[in-house]
């Protein structure tokens, strides 16, 4: 399907029909998700396709049993684990081998650990960034682990959008849900304390009543400026 | 262009050719960006297309003069202003008029102000969410303004991805940059203290040397699980 048609067709669907979604459709969308750009290629995303009946029921409940979850054929959870930076670092160093440019090597072996770990240095990082920043352009974040999570969540959201558009391009529908009990979803998935659930995305075929009217956006010139 | 071809073609480009990007290409991508789903339709995104020569030079410098910015034909800044929820609330209430369902009305007039404003209630919100959450599924965030920013940034990232894919679908290239001096970018754009810069996206036609090798991703089964 044409890219712009997929964007146009995508709407948040609150009620699905009983039509099944082929496994291939989901897999193709996951592949598209994993092709999204992501910060420093740290690939801190973790995606769970919940098929187990009991777990799915628990997930629906954790999404407050909203129609978008309850009537969905499939539920996919996008989460981030900031500590995955270490596995990606290893994989990148192994893949690039001894011919890795020096700057890239020190980026991944020095800067990444400094930013993504060493949470006890948070106040020092803040002070360093903002002191150097007085004199020359300087990154201001992430200086603490909440900031690292923000970076990871941002990249994961890029993947979420690829996923949703890919489902749309294949003639099915989605609803991105942020209304859920993160604590219960994490428990159900066995995620650790520092991990974060970014979005639960439901998939299915839209019931005509599942779309709440025309898409509503404020006028373009209220949110977009040429300067 | 086919959706999957656009996803496949999109790579982060660090060096662009001198080919100009038609204004229509950017506008079409902005329109696609604004069709992204976003949390509670609060549309807290603000997008700036920086054309002014002096401002563009300042922006390139704030991006540490990296090749992806320096050689770019166009630079577009995606930011969020969480206080924009109020304008969206007004616009939604006006558009829906007196026939708005009661639940939707109270969602926008009671829940939204409670979540997006009233920062002084942060500890109370945290306590409320986590106490009620002991007994039944309950949202755990956003309980403070950093949490609200996180929600806004997540929605804005969805828009960023639409933008990048839309540029790719039109045969041009992008690079999403998170390496910039947020303080300087905000100052240059005249953004207020509580606003956040999400991403600076450069646009142009890729120079063959502008793409750093093959796309590298860890094996699918290390980040994706069926449960």
The encoded tokens of residue B176 equal: 């999403």
B193: which chain A residues are within 8 Å (Cβ-Cβ)? none
Cβ within 8 Å, pair B137-A184: yes
Tell me whether the omega of the peptide bond preceding residue B142 falls within 30 degrees of 0, making it cis: yes
pLDDT in tens, B139-168: 999 999 999 999 999 999 999 999 999 999
Query: Domains of chain B: which residue ranges?
Result: 3-82+145-205, 86-135
- On whether any CB of chain B is under 8 Å from the CB of A210, the answer is no
For position B1, what pLDDT does the model report?
87
Q: Are A135 and A176 in contact (CB under 8 A)?
A: no
What is the average per-residue pLDDT within A141-167?
98
CATH number of the B3-82+145-205 domain? 3.40.109.10
Q: Is the pLDDT of residue A199 over 90?
A: yes
**Full pLDDT tens readout for chain B, 227 residues:** 899 999 999 999 999 999 999 999 999 999 999 999 999 999 999 999 999 999 999 999 999 999 999 999 999 999 999 999 999 999 999 999 998 999 999 999 999 999 999 999 999 999 999 999 999 999 999 999 999 999 999 999 999 999 999 999 999 999 999 999 999 999 999 999 999 999 999 999 999 999 988 999 999 999 999 99
The encoded tokens of residue A183 equal: 């604590």
Of B2, B222, B227, the CB nearest to A52: B227
For position B169, what pLDDT does the model report?
98
* Cβ neighbour number for residue B225 with a 10 Å cutoff: 14
> Testing the interface with B: which of A37, A136, A145 to mutate, by most B Cβ within 10 A?
A37
Of B39, B166, B223, the CB nearest to A3: B166
* Positive or negative torsion for Cα A160, A164, A170, A172: positive
CA distance B227 to chain A (A): 5
Cβ within 8 Å, pair A51-B227: yes
CA dihedral B2, B51, B85, A198 (to 10 degrees): 50
Cβ within 8 Å, pair B180-A137: yes
- Dist. CA A69–CA A82, nearest whole Å: 27
Q: How far apart are the first and last CA of chain A?
A: 35
Residue numbers of A between 24 and 63 with CB closer than 8 Å to B: 28, 30-32, 34-37, 39, 41, 43, 45-52, 55, 61-63
For position A172, what pLDDT does the model report?
98
Please give the model's pTM, rounded to 2 decimal places: 0.97
The encoded tokens of residue B81 equal: 């202003």
Could you give the 3-state DSSP secondary structure of residue A17?
coil
Lookup result for tokens 């700057």 = A103
* β-pair type (B74-80, B45-50): antiparallel
- On whether any CB of chain A is under 8 Å from the CB of B144, the answer is no
A166: which chain B residues are within 8 Å (Cβ-Cβ)? 3-4, 7
CATH number of the A3-82+145-212 domain? 3.40.109.10
> Testing the interface with B: which of A144, A161, A166 to mutate, by most B Cβ within 10 A?
A161
The encoded tokens of residue A34 equal: 């994993």
- On whether any CB of chain B is under 8 Å from the CB of A19, the answer is no
- Dist. CA B128–CA A208, nearest whole Å: 37
The encoded tokens of residue A174 equal: 């989605």
Lookup result for tokens 């969602």 = B107
- Dist. CA B165–CA B143, nearest whole Å: 33
Closest CA to B151 of B48, B47, B40: B40
Which segments within A112-211 are labelled E, that is strand? 173-177, 196-204
The CA distances from residue A14 to A206, A212, B46, in Å, are 8, 8, 27
The encoded tokens of residue A107 equal: 């980026």
Average pLDDT, chain A: 97
- Dist. CA A86–CA A148, nearest whole Å: 13
**Phi/psi at B80 (5° precision):** -130, 145
- On whether any CB of chain A is under 8 Å from the CB of B165, the answer is yes
């Amino acid at each position: 399907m044409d890219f712009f048609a997929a964007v146009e067709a995508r709407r948040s669907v609150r009620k699905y029909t009983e039509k099944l979604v082929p496994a291939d459709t989901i897999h193709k969308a996951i592949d598209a998700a994993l092709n999204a750009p992501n910060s420093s290629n740290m690939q801190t995303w973790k995606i769970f396709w919940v098929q187990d009946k009991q777990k799915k029921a628990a997930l629906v409940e954790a999404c407050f049993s909203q129609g978008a979850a309850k009537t969905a054929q499939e539920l996919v959870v996008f989460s981030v684990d900031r500590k995955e930076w270490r596995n990606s670092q290893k994989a990148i160093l192994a893949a690039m081998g001894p011919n890795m440019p020096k700057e890239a090597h020190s980026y991944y072996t020095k800067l990444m650990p400094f930013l993504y770990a060493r949470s006890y240095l948070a106040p020092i990082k803040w002070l360093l960034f903002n002191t150097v920043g007085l004199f020359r352009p300087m990154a201001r974040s992430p200086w603490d682990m909440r900031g690292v999570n923000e970076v990871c969540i941002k990249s994961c959201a890029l993947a979420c959008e690829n996923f949703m558009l890919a489902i749309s391009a294949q003639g099915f529908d989605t609803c991105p849900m942020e209304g859920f009990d993160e604590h219960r979803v994490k428990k159900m998935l066995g995620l650790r304390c520092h991990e974060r659930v970014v979005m639960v995305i439901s998939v299915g075929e839209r019931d005509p009543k599942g779309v709440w009217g025309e898409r509503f956006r404020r006028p373009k010139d209220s949110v977009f400026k040429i300067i």
